[in-house]
Amino acid sequence: MIDATAEDDDVITSVCFYANGLLLGSDTTNPYQCSWNGAPPGDHAVKTVAWDNDGNSVTSDIVNLTVSLHPIPYVMVISVDGMGSEYVKSLLTEGLLND
């Protein structure tokens, strides 16, 4: 989530969010926010542009950020011989009823 603040003598009509020059989205209500789901790994230049009801705009400073992925180092698989699903299901059901 990217957040921005904007103030004006008149009315802020929208705040637009950009990353690397591409429009990510806009918001018309305070607090101004934009989701950036699926941001690709790497360095990005993010900025906002606020518009008021007179058509005037102001651009924020560019904020540089780095998106990185953290791989899951291990996956653990547990198998218990002789514990078929019918046995495990009853244990889970009993356990949930006792909580």
Q: How far is CA 10 from the centre of its chain?
A: 30
Q: What domains can be seen in the chain, in order of their start residue?
A: 2-98 (2.60.40.10)
**What integer pLDDT is reported at residue 54 of this predicted model?**
92
| Mean pLDDT for the stretch of residues 69-86 | 70
pTM over 0.85, yes/no: no
Which 8-state DSSP code applies to residue 38?
T
CB atoms within 10 A of CB 1: 7
How high does pLDDT run on average in the chain? Answer: 84
What would the pLDDT profile of 35-76 be if each residue is shown by its tens digit? 998 899 999 999 999 999 999 999 999 999 999 888 777 776
**What integer pLDDT is reported at residue 49 of this predicted model?**
96
